[in-house]
Amino acid sequence: MSFLGRVLVAVEKAVKEPLFDCRMCGQCILHSTGLVCPMRCPKNLRNGPCGGVLVDGNCEVYPDRPCVWVKAWEHSRLLPLWRDHMEHLNPPVDWRLQGTSAWANLASGRDKELPAAWTAAEKRSP
């Protein structure tokens, strides 16, 4: 990675980590998750909570922490924008982008590069 690229990653991390507890997956979907980072979910779920959420709304894997997706749902209801993005079907993670800058990937369109058949399925879906 170039020097400028490393600076960008450092800046993005410095901003997004304290704000959103961002895990730098490089393909940001915070707008679809009530600005709660879904990569904090121990099952890496990108499309909503699993069925194991405890009655008190905490995580089945870390029972002392709230479920990331319960927070995502609650926060999304408070946002003036992107509320309906909770209904979006988010594509699989490209694990090659871990630790890269989502801002750079958004600008270049790299974060929209999906497996060919996934893209075809999106087009078939109404």
Partner 1 sequence: MDRGGKEKPVTDAGAPAKPRSGLEALLRAGHFVVTAEMQPTSGADPEEVRTLATGLIGRVDAANCTDNPAARPHLSSLAAGHVLVQSGLEPVVQLTCRDRNRLALQADLLGAACLGARNVLLLTGDGVTAGDHPETKPLFDLDSLHLLRTACILRDQGTYLSGRPLSTRPSFFIGAVENPFAPPHDYRPMRLAKKVEAGAEFVQLQLCFNVPRLREFVARTRDLGLLERVFLLVSVYVTRSTRALRYLRDVVPGIDVPDAVMARLEHGPSELQAEEGFRLALETVAALREIRGISGVHLISIKGQEAILRLIEAAGLLPRPKPGTQPAPAPGERAAPG
What residues numbered 64-83 form the site for partner 1, per CB under 8 A?
Answer: 67, 69-70, 73-74
In the block, which residue shows the tokens 């699989």? 92
Residue 7 interacts with partner 1 (CB under 8 A)?
no
Shortest distance, CB of residue 53 to partner 1, whole angstroms? 4
- Among residues 24, 37, 46, 102, which is the contact residue for partner 1, using CB under 8 A? 46
Measured distance CA(83)–CA(13) in Å, rounded: 25
Beta bridge partners of 96: none
Beta strands in 32-80, from DSSP E residues, in sequence order: none
The closest of 64, 63, 19, 71 to 45, measured between CA atoms, is 71
Positions that interact with partner 1 (CB under 8 A): 42-57, 60-61, 67, 69-70, 73-74, 86-89, 91-93, 95, 115-118, 120-121, 124-126
